[in-house]
Amino acid sequence: MADHNDRAPHIPGQRQQPPAPEPAAEETNPRLAALRAWWNTAWDQGGVLHDRWEDLRRAPELGWHGMAHWVKAAIGLAGICVVIILLDTATGVLTDAAHRLLTAVPDVQVGDNTSTGVWATIDNPVRSYIAAHSAGLPISAATVYTLWQFTGLFSLGAGFITRSNGVRLTWVAWGFTGVAMVWTTTPDTSRTVATAITVLAWTAASAFALRGLNLRPRVFANIGAPEITVQPQIHIPTPAAPPAGGAPGNVRPLQKR
């Protein structure tokens, strides 16, 4: 039996034919051939990728005002992404620092009425209200009470120093919340008096927090220079009337030849 691996006998003087070359990948895959053709065309002079590369290469020379608009958009988008990442990191750091600061605050017995004197008329109802409505919060009632105190002291001091409208609005909102808590928590027999004391105390403190606030409308008188209208005109003098009974001196009769 003949072996399948046997080769054809070599005849001296006969030239052997080389093996047929394998077909290129582009010939077997039309999509790959079309992609290669598009790639070569895009990098030719005037192609899409060639022009984009020229825009990037010339951007440092042209500067911000001369570079292509799509390069500006890409740089702006990258800058926005960097800012978002930095803000996200900073927010996490600030939140962690605020949490540590608030948890380090001494535990205040919010539900107990520990204040005395006139301040107890305002402070004790606020403590009772916060203790009764902070059960479902992720922070303790003592932390909420500390934040309420800090907001009032900050808006009072910052409003007196900076005279900022935002700080003044915070002070007004803080005062309204305090009055509302006192009105809600104080018993009916003394609710009116306690609320009146709270409003008077808040009004007295507002003299410092709202320092310089003027509700009168301002009238600005615009006194400008008088308007001067320049109208160029050309004046032509009227010619003198000819003497009576004769022609004017500058008129000569025609001579016939």
Mean of the pLDDT values across residues 99-106?
Answer: 57
Both tokens assigned to 70 = 């799509």
48-88 tens-digit pLDDT: 788 888 888 888 888 888 888 888 888 888 888 888 888 87
**How far is 193 from 116, CA to CA, in rounded Å?**
17
Q: 143, 130 in Cβ contact below 8 A?
A: no
Query: 182 pLDDT exceeds 90?
Result: yes
**How far is 35 from 28, CA to CA, in rounded Å?**
13
CA atoms within 13 A on the CB side of 89: 5
| pLDDT computed for residue 222 by the predictor | 57
| pLDDT computed for residue 177 by the predictor | 93
Residue 212 backbone class (left: φ over 0; alpha: ψ -120 to 50; beta: rest): left
Mean of the pLDDT values across residues 82-99?
Answer: 76
Report the predicted TM-score, pTM, of the whole model to 2 decimal places: 0.46
Give CA 218 to chain center in angstroms.
31
Please provide the average confidence, as pLDDT, over all residues in the chain. Answer: 76
Query: 47 pLDDT exceeds 70?
Result: yes
